[in-house]
């Protein structure tokens, strides 16, 4: 008769559904670069410490290292969008604390496509020649281009 193996860890940690890739995608899709930071051309990383309750919701967030110009507030707003999956912890209500680094990089300026502008000039002059063909209108068109 073999003994049943117990879990290595007594308390199970919360996990973001989809892992870190899904968390990065959520940040990328919802990040709104603050206008003040765009005007001042501010780039950097904001470190946020946040707490997750027993239901998987973020209940507290605090900026540990910020860059200002509205980026700190935007990082906290993003953190409150997270919803974690928390496995049962033996009927205990455990609060977890995590840190996250949110990077603010200025959007790359898209190069404007070079459009070639060409000028076409039409000159319409009445023809001095008499009508020879029935389809002729009596005008000639010169194209300078």
Angle, helix 71-79 to helix 19-30, in steps of 10 degrees = 130
**Domain containing 24: what range?**
19-104
Report the CATH number at residue 77.
3.30.2420.10
For 48-64, what is the mean pLDDT?
96
pLDDT greater at residue 40 or residue 119: 40
Does residue 130 lie in a domain region? no
Q: Which of 40, 17, 22 is nearest to 104 (CA)?
A: 40
Does residue 88 lie in a domain region? yes
**DSSP-assigned letters across all residues of 18-62:** THHHHHHHHHHHH----HHHHHHT--EEEEEEEEE-TTSBEEEEE
**Number of structural domains found in the chain:** 1
- Write the pLDDT tens digit of every residue in 10-50: 788 899 999 999 999 999 999 999 999 999 999 999 999 99
Does residue 8 lie in a domain region? no
Q: What predicted TM-score, i.e. pTM, was given to this entire model?
A: 0.68
52: Cα within 13 Å, side-chain hemisphere: 20
Contact assessment for residue 53 and residue 66, using Cβ atoms and an 8 Å cutoff: no
Does residue 128 lie in a domain region? no
Does residue 140 lie in a domain region? no
Structure tokens, 134: 């029935």
Continuous segment of H or E residues that includes residue 21? helix 19-30
Does residue 92 lie in a domain region? yes
Locate tokens 């997270």: which residue? 82
Does residue 95 lie in a domain region? yes
Does residue 13 lie in a domain region? no
């Amino acid at each position: 008769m073999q003994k049943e193996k117990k879990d290595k860890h007594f308390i199970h940690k919360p996990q973001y559904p989809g892992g870190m890739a899904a968390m990065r995608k959520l940040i990328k899709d919802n990040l709104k670069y603050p206008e003040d930071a765009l005007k001042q051309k501010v780039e950097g990383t904001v470190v946020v410490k946040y707490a997750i309750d027993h239901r998987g919701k973020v209940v507290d967030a605090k900026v540990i290292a910020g860059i200002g110009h509205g980026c700190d507030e935007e990082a906290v707003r993003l953190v409150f969008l997270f919803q974690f999956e928390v496995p049962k912890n033996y009927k205990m209500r455990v609060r977890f604390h995590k840190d996250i680094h949110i990077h603010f990089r200025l959007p790359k300026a898209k190069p404007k496509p070079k459009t070639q502008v060409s000028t076409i000039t039409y000159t319409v002059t009445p023809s001095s020649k008499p009508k020879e063909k029935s389809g002729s209108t009596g005008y000639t068109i010169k194209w300078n281009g």
